[in-house]
Structure 1
């Protein structure tokens, strides 16, 4: 009962959390705790995966990442964020078309992504998206959501319906929850890249490239952790006017990245 009382109090306090785009969040994990996990995971990847020896590629990726993250203090001053001031960037030698950002200020880009995100603006869309996951505290939110799901699973197993419960939670809660995070990171990332002086229209072109690269080999959206490419492009276009206003302002203030 004591543990349940502590959980209830923590849950009540977590209800006060709000994402940078104004969405109410349920967060039970502290920023310090999730940042420590992010740093540990990044260091493990650096030990296990080869990093690119191409200095030009590495400088190119870091230039884009530096321009993106330079805009974060502007958001922090508005009281929206609590994130590191310095970000570490690694370029991993891998054919995977992927990138990530982790709590604790860590960014990783796989060289395979550079074949699909083939301009600085397109790569900025990816990095802006990944950094936005950190800014919106999605890792802590997802970990927090797993706690009540695990408790419910324990009760369901005790009554012999654990498998049915797991299928229901995954389809009706966890997958839509994950898609919501991806959509939020798309929109926040669009604003972030535009504020840094990267053309936000390249985000739509990026997802056109992604769709071609996948060859249509993706599960239906309802069964996926990510929105469909079509959904992402629709939502990005719906926010494009706001992003273009930020882009014009950035250009007027002299933010004109030239990363190569």
Structure 2
């Protein structure tokens, strides 16, 4: 009996180790719009590390995109880079269809593509306004609409907004703030539309994050840190961690939410 008890204990230990290593997105298929650098690249890495097959779009840098896909594959994951300008409706829709065809379905959409128009409302060109709306807002609608036609019940749509939707403490960001505020309403409405299918829709609102768009050693960094409860910029992998949670099974009751991850910028 002692030998049997020991054997049972060993089996339990092995099973516990196996379960602790289970990836909670194993078997899931994700598409990240705007995934070749910064926060987007961190999201691609994290979703792939949790077991998802990840397709992601990029606008121009073939080298960075392919390097990221190679990195994920070298680590044992699955990744596929697709060139698609987020301002181009047809390209966005086709990119999603390509992912569905390559991986056999879709479970998770992350809308991360964005531009940062900056300048006084007195001087900002209308072209900058139009491009911000096309990429920061319209592409989210287009990708979400196309994804909803393929994504299975219980899927996830996650938009990457900005804490500037709630607080814009410096001049020059009116159009950017407006574009990100639009995602708050779009997220709430889509959550209602897709709720009957148990598809959750949420909006992640980062504060200052150390990326090439807004580096932690940039000329405005000290001024931004002074506005925060934590005296530091965020890391892209921290944003990716929240996205991974929202994409996973434990977030099934979270929908229609705009979640700040901003070091106390909005406190």
* TM-score, normalising length: structure 1: 0.31
More strand by share: 2
* TM-score, normalising length: structure 2: 0.30
